[in-house]
């Protein structure tokens, strides 16, 4: 996906927009006159500045943080990393706690909180769930645009937590974003830094048009790519995790690589393939 510009909607965000635009080598654009305008007018403005909108996108910065707006065929889709909106807050408080499949997959149980490396963090949704349940989570994301959204989302959530939600602040303290490619990070990880669990959620295989994914997922697919090296990432993870590797997959998708998981937790649409390295101690991370 081709990033065309960074647009800021408030005067006070001009410097931050210029810094982000410099990172990506694109113009930063004054959109202050569109602050509070309907989305269709903002989209029209972004399209006008993009020129060729084929596979194009633009960052937009406002008081609510950073969003990536898709243009062209995916017009109307906006993506952001959210850690304090209504949906994530509901799941955090009423989402099933350690009874959730992802919690069981990484080995969470009463008093036990493994250190998790999320090597394909995306927008941080799964990492946030694990951190909310007590895990220390290190996140890796190699796609620069997605990493920028994740970093901005964390900053925005920290600001919100300072004002209104101390519990959220504690959760965010357990989340660390590292700007590194997962393969290189795992190849060079120190023995003392090896995580208890490595969590992989590679991009799902693209479906045929007979079963098209939602527009949001198609845009994310364009950003991240097809993760064609996911099999190799599994091999590295197996060599570096202390106790287990967990791979999230579509329910009917093939396993990664040639290794068969030791256990599988299956839901309606997704499943978790669990590769056991060693038995997890009963007092691991005990609080």
- The structural domains of the chain, ordered by start, are 2-79 (no CATH), 86-276 (3.40.50.150)
Residue 176, CA distances (Å) to 120, 128, 148, 168 in order: 13, 11, 14, 14
pLDDT at position 227 is 57
Q: What is the pLDDT along the chain (287 residues), one digit of tens a residue?
A: 789 999 999 999 999 999 999 999 999 999 999 999 999 999 999 999 888 888 889 999 999 999 999 988 778 889 999 999 999 999 898 887 888 999 999 999 877 889 999 999 999 999 999 999 999 999 999 889 999 999 999 999 999 999 999 999 999 999 999 988 899 999 999 998 899 999 999 876 555 444 445 777 777 777 766 555 667 889 999 999 999 999 999 888 888 888 899 999 999 989 999 999 999 887 776 65
On whether the CB atoms of residues 35 and 9 are closer than 8 A, the answer is: yes
| Residue 140 DSSP one-character state | E
On whether the CB atoms of residues 74 and 219 are closer than 8 A, the answer is: yes
Q: How many CB atoms are closer than 10 A to CB 217? A: 15
pLDDT at position 181 is 87
pLDDT at position 97 is 85
Q: Mention every residue, 6+ apart, whose C-beta is less than 8 A from residue 110.
A: 98
Q: Mention every residue, 6+ apart, whose C-beta is less than 8 A from residue 19.
A: none
Report if pTM > 0.85: yes
What 3-state class would DSSP assign to 104? helix
Angle separating helix axes 144-164 and 14-24, nearest 10 degrees? 150
Q: In terms of DSSP H, where are the helices of the chain?
A: 14-24, 39-50, 86-94, 101-106, 125-132, 144-164, 166-173, 182-187, 215-224, 230-240
238 — phi, psi (to 5°)? Answer: -65, -30
């Amino acid at each position: 996906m081709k990033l065309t510009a960074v647009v800021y909607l408030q005067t006070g965000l001009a410097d931050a927009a210029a810094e982000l635009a410099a990172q990506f080598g694109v113009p930063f654009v004054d959109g202050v006159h569109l602050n509070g305008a309907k989305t269709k007018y903002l989209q029209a403005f972004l399209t006008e500045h993009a020129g060729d909108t084929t596979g194009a996108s633009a960052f937009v910065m406002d008081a609510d943080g950073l969003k990536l707006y898709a243009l062209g065929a995916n017009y109307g889709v906006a993506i952001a990393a959210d850690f304090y909106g209504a949906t994530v807050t509901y799941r955090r408080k009423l989402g099933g706690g350690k009874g959730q499949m992802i919690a069981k997959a990484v080995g969470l149980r009463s008093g036990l909180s493994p250190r998790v490396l999320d090597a394909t963090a995306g927008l941080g949704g799964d990492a946030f769930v694990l951190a909310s349940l007590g895990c220390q989570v290190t996140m890796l994301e190699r796609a620069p645009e997605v990493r920028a959204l994740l970093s901005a989302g964390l900053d925005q959530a920290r600001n919100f937590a300072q004002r209104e939600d101390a519990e959220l602040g504690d959760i965010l303290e357990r989340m660390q974003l590292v700007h590194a490619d997962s393969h290189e990070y795992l190849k060079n990880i120190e023995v003392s830094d090896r995580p208890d669990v490595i969590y992989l959620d590679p991009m799902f295989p693209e479906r045929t048009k007979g079963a098209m994914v939602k527009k949001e997922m198609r845009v994310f697919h364009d950003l991240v790519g097809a993760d064609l090296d996911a099999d190799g990432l599994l091999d590295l993870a197996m060599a570096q995790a202390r106790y287990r590797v967990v791979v999230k997959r579509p329910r009917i998708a093939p396993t990664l690589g040639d290794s068969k998981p030791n256990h599988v937790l299956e839901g309606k649409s997704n499943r978790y393939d669990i590769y056991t390295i060693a038995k997890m101690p009963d007092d691991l991370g005990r609080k």
